[in-house]
Amino acid sequence: MEVKEIDIPQTRAFSAFDKISELGHEQIVYCHDEFTGLKAIIAIHNTVLGPALGGTRMWNYNSDEEALIDVLRLSRGMTFKAAISGLNLGGGKAVIIGDAKKLKSEAFMRRFGRFVESLGGKYITAEDVNMKTRDMEYIAMETKHVTGKPEWMGGGGDPSPVTAYGTYLGMKAAAKKVYGKDSLTGKKVAVQGVGQVGSFLVGHLMKEGAKVYVTDISNTKLEQLSKEHAVEVVEMEAIYDLDIDIYAPCALGATINDGTLGRLKCSIVAGAANNQLADEKRHGQMLIDQGIVYAPDFLINAGGLINVYSEYLGNYNRNLAHSQAEKIYDTCLDILNVATQEGITSQDAAMRLAQERIDAIGKVQLGY
Ligand code: NAD
């Protein structure tokens, strides 16, 4: 094997360790396999409440730094999501760098499964963007630390329908807060991203008689959805300028940012995407200043995690997972009320509740 000289940079514009300590992560694992072309990062944020469970996202990131920041933000979100949902799980997440359409194969996914296995259960994976139940099946051939497996393998299948259901209930709780009643009939809702979660969410909204606008980078998905539902398709950028009641981000994160905030004309932001606020503090406050109520993403999109948790416990039951996810409505309404009463952002109110549980249970575990 040829020995390559290692190029050590003299100045470091970006410090991974600074970022990791800023967000409070426990462990980051870089995974590489030359044969399959696998490049992945597994981030374990916090394991006070239990093993770090979070899906794997496959995305063609522009740089390794972008992938690292994404996995750090996503895994931290999982810690708070599990905590606020009352689950005994920590927060973790994985990203695989590359084009899912070109790279995915049985060997590729199984190699990733071996990396998950090497962590001995400290990290448990599941589906996220561009990962399907079929991929979990391959991963499960190499490790038992995987959820979101197909039903024939004793799994709960795709968690997205439960995520969509919880998001829908969170949206209704926000509607109750803003309009005094939680009906979405006649409300104009813009769903950005009609993938696994977005398309199920559209189903709930249509059933309730909402007027639904959709956008997606994939024309195929838009065409498919338009065949099933009478939705109005809009251009990608146009979604931010619509005269609507509710904006539901269901694609990627950070769509609430300096560029979009001034354009939004809705009264509620409630969607399934993780990390919707580009800057939690600043953009959370800007939403309040614009009179927009924000249903915290990690709270209302927890249905999928609740679903895979039930699978992880070994007694998967879809009805039970659904009824557990129904608690999202009350928690969301409580959080929105606490935020108004205390003059803080709903994101801060939700994070505080989650952190209080982590701190309290951390102390319980100190005893024998
Ligand atoms: P998905 O890949 O099935 O769907 C994402 C959709 O967004 C795709 O159709 C994609 O084409 C589209 N998209 C990507 N970029 C876009 C853009 N700029 N504008 C418009 N559309 C765009 O993924 P998913 O499982 O539906 O997840 C959607 C979001 O919800 C993600 O942020 C994910 O992390 C989050 N989430 C998912 C689950 C789950 O159970 N699947 C659980 C919690 C959170």
From the CB of 203, is ligand 1 less than 6 Å away? Answer: no
pLDDT tens per residue, range 285-306:
999 999 999 999 999 999 999 9
The proportion of the chain whose per-residue pLDDT surpasses 70, expressed as a percent, equals 96
**How close is the Cα of 162 to the center of ligand 1, in Å?**
14
From the CB of 274, is ligand 1 less than 6 Å away? Answer: yes
Confidence category of residue 17, pLDDT binned at 50, 70, 90: confident
What is the chain's Cα-based Rg?
Answer: 20
Confidence category of residue 232, pLDDT binned at 50, 70, 90: very high
Choosing from 81, 93, 122, 187, which is the catalytic residue?
A: 93
Atom index in ligand 1 nearest the CA of residue 305 equals 42
Which residue pairs from 334-341 have beta carbons closer than 8 angstroms and sit at least 24 positions apart in sequence? 335/296, 335/299, 336/173, 336/174, 336/177, 336/293, 336/295, 337/177
From the CB of 221, is ligand 1 less than 6 Å away? Answer: yes
pTM: 0.92
Topology match between the domains 16-71+90-153 and 160-305+326-355? yes
**How close is the Cα of 304 to the center of ligand 1, in Å?**
13
C-alpha separations of 104 from 41, 194, 327 in Å:
16, 22, 36
From the CB of 301, is ligand 1 less than 6 Å away? Answer: yes
Residue identifier of the C-alpha nearest atom 8 of ligand 1: 195
Which two tokens mark 264?
């939004």
**How close is the Cα of 236 to the center of ligand 1, in Å?**
14
**How close is the Cα of 251 to the center of ligand 1, in Å?**
4
| pLDDT value, residue 365 | 74
| pLDDT value, residue 15 | 82
Cβ burial, residue 343 (10 Å; 0-12/13-18/19+): exposed
From the CB of 250, is ligand 1 less than 6 Å away? Answer: yes
Residue identifier of the C-alpha nearest atom 41 of ligand 1: 160
**How close is the Cα of 24 to the center of ligand 1, in Å?**
26
The verdict on whether 281 is a catalytic residue reads no
Has residue 356 got a pLDDT over 90?
Answer: yes
CB 104 within 8 A of CB 137: no
**Superfamily for 160-305+326-355?**
NAD(P)-binding Rossmann-like Domain (3.40.50.720)
**How close is the Cα of 195 to the center of ligand 1, in Å?**
5
pLDDT tens per residue, range 207-224:
999 999 999 999 999 999
| pLDDT value, residue 367 | 72
**16-71+90-153, CATH topology level:** Rossmann fold (3.40.50)
Residue identifier of the C-alpha nearest atom 32 of ligand 1: 273
| pLDDT value, residue 18 | 87
| pLDDT value, residue 252 | 86
Domain spans of the chain, in order of start: 16-71+90-153, 160-305+326-355
- What gap in Å lies between CA 361 and CA 223, rounded to an integer? 48
- What gap in Å lies between CA 146 and CA 306, rounded to an integer? 14
From the CB of 252, is ligand 1 less than 6 Å away? Answer: yes
Atom index in ligand 1 nearest the CA of residue 251 equals 7
Which residue pairs from 133-137 have beta carbons closer than 8 angstroms and sit at least 24 positions apart in sequence? 133/157, 133/158, 135/56, 135/104, 135/109
From the CB of 195, is ligand 1 less than 6 Å away? Answer: yes
- What gap in Å lies between CA 135 and CA 131, rounded to an integer? 6
From the CB of 194, is ligand 1 less than 6 Å away? Answer: yes
pLDDT tens per residue, range 264-288:
999 999 999 999 999 999 999 999 9
Atom index in ligand 1 nearest the CA of residue 197 equals 26
Q: 173 in the Ramachandran plot: left (φ > 0), alpha (ψ -120 to 50) or beta?
A: alpha
pLDDT tens per residue, range 141-194:
999 999 999 989 989 988 899 999 999 999 999 999 999 999 999 999 999 999
Residue identifier of the C-alpha nearest atom 30 of ligand 1: 273
From the CB of 158, is ligand 1 less than 6 Å away? Answer: no
